[in-house]
Amino acid sequence: MNIEIGNVLLIGSILLFISVIAGKTSYKFGVPTLVLFLAIGMLAGSEGIGGIFFDDPALAQFIGIVSLNFILFSGGLDTNWTSIKPVLWQGIALSTAGVLFTAVLVGAFVWVITDFTIYEGLLLGAIVSSTDAAAVFSILRSKSLALKSNLRPTLELESGSNDPMAYVLTIAFLGLVVNQDQSILSVIPFFLQQMVIGALAGLLFGKASRYVINKIKLGFEGLYIVLVIALVFITFSVTSLVNGNGFLAVYLCAVYLGNQDLIHKRSILQMFDGLAWLMQIILFLTLGLLVFPSHVIPVIGIGVLVSAFLIIVARPVSVLLSLLPFRMKMRRRWYISWAGLKGAVPIVFATYPLLAGVDKAGMIFNIVFFVSLISLFTQGTTLSLMASWLHVALPEKAKQKTPTDLILSEGVKSEIAELTLIEGNASIGKRIVELDFPKTAIIAMIKRDGTFLTPKGSTTLEANDTLIVLSENKQGINSVYESLDMDSV
């Protein structure tokens, strides 16, 4: 069956429906949802029962780039700066040095056991070097894993920030494969340019996006979602145009925004959480459709060897080397090693050699697909088991709250206060989003002229407003007095 304009909506909606229903029940059988999305795509493909012919790496790559922007942005929004600050340098080490070590080790191994040149081996190693943000985010959150000693923020920080490094290495080694006369030292300036420009652009666009979101008055809450989507792709596109790493810029922009007060933040977080799931499904379905199972079978032998080496040797060695400067118990290092899941990102990156016309591009793509599948099955299904076995799991009640958890649920508020704004108060005329309000407190209601209003970030405070404030503790109430420039009682 060929995909045509007349049937694309029907086919797409049916596949989405099947994926959602399958995802709902997948964990009852211990199978990661993302594996099922891939499987559904393969079953619907040209060699499956659906018979849908899809062999367009360029379109798949485009869908992959769009999807990764949503996934990385959603993950960045859900990254709590307070949680990642203690593990910032560990995360950076894993997402840079760890990715490089993995790429080199896997590349050298592939060079030894196959007829690949060293540059072709390094290209394959770079493609599979990063942990997949979509896989890690979805599995950790679906399983509600509560981990000791900042392990969860470490894993989420690494998986969210190491795709840019893998992308840079993939493009760099692809250039070496295509242009054999280039020196490997040419990778260094390219790497520095991509990462430095990407980081600076991400922070600049984050600050600019916060200003635009909070200052512009659109009138309709739904338009703010559209505005943020536009800002996401402006961030990615402009950064890429100036030869920076667009993926890094999008992630850092989202991390900055996720830790700021924004108008309609609740709606933005909810919408991007849903969009991230939608994009994960679309991405995995697309990649499943792109794969021809008959082409994967001949590389199973090599795929098993590469998978085993990656999971048992390359990933653990890379983690241990990256974390040498830091104090951490060995069992926690082992768990970080085991949580190095592969997913859709390596498969998306494997389309770059296909489009560049590299001789072994087809073989690389099929090996990468097999490695990602093995990783999702072996590591994705055993994250909870390994957490218990290595004694790094915490009870559910001790799970750290992410920004989404804090925004989407009110939490337990044990303190309440009524504050009236008198004439001359500095907060009068300001919108709630412009207040330096503590994270542990919320304005539940505003009493104005005898009526009660449900406040939003865009609500402007007026003289004689009575604010009904809820807080987790007395200290939060005192902080509210300070932010409203009022004397505490």
pLDDT digits (tens, 9 = 90+) for 169-185: 999 999 999 887 777 78
Residue 203, helix vs strand vs coil: helix
Average pLDDT score over residue span 455-477: 79
Q: Which of 262-266, 286-290, 395-399 has the lowest mean pLDDT?
A: 395-399
pLDDT at 410 over 50: no
Q: Are 341 and 131 in contact (CB under 8 A)?
A: yes
Average pLDDT score over residue span 237-257: 93
* One domain for residues 447 and 359: no
pLDDT at 188: 85
Q: Are 163 and 348 in contact (CB under 8 A)?
A: no
Question: Which run of H or of E encompasses 449?
Answer: none
Boundary of a domain, candidates 368, 385, 403: 403
To 10 degrees, the CA torsion angle through 88, 90, 91, 96? Answer: 120
Confidence of residue 408 (pLDDT cuts 50, 70, 90): very low
Average pLDDT score over residue span 402-413: 47
Q: Are 455 and 445 in contact (CB under 8 A)?
A: yes
CB atoms within 10 A of CB 405: 15
Task: Give DSSP secondary structure letters for 298-326.
Answer: GGHHHHHHHHHHIIIIIHHHHHHHHTTTS
* One domain for residues 349 and 468: no
Rounded CA-CA distance 289/373 in Å is 14
Assigned domain for 489 exists:
no
Encoded tokens for 392? 């790094």
Rounded CA-CA distance 398/134 in Å is 24
Hey, which residues does 53 pair with through a beta bridge? 2
pLDDT at 285: 85
* One domain for residues 253 and 344: yes
Boundary of a domain, candidates 342, 375, 403: 403
* One domain for residues 466 and 369: no
Which residues contact residue 179 at a Cβ distance below 8 angstroms, ignoring those fewer than 6 apart? none
pLDDT at 383 over 90: no
Rounded CA-CA distance 309/339 in Å is 15
pLDDT at 465 over 80: yes
Nearest-10 crossing angle of helices 57-77, 151-161: 140
Higher-confidence residue: 24 or 218?
Answer: 218
* One domain for residues 389 and 432: no
Confidence of residue 31 (pLDDT cuts 50, 70, 90): low
Block residue for tokens 């309609």: 264
Would you call 38 exposed, middle or buried from its count of C-beta atoms within 10 A (0-12, 13-18, 19+)?
Answer: buried
Q: Are 272 and 281 in contact (CB under 8 A)?
A: no
Overall domain count for the chain: 2
* One domain for residues 193 and 227: yes
pLDDT at 43: 83
Hey, which residues does 451 pair with through a beta bridge? 448
The CATH number for 426's domain is 3.30.70.1450
pLDDT digits (tens, 9 = 90+) for 362-377: 999 999 999 988 988 8
Task: Look over the chain and give the mean of its residue pLDDT values, rounded to a whole number.
Answer: 82
User: Which domain does 429 fall in, by range?
Assistant: 410-483
* One domain for residues 335 and 298: yes
Boundary of a domain, candidates 370, 403, 436: 403
pTM across the whole model: 0.78
Rounded CA-CA distance 445/318 in Å is 52
Q: Which of 25-34, 316-325, 335-344, 469-478 has the lowest mean pLDDT?
A: 25-34
Assigned domain for 168 exists:
yes
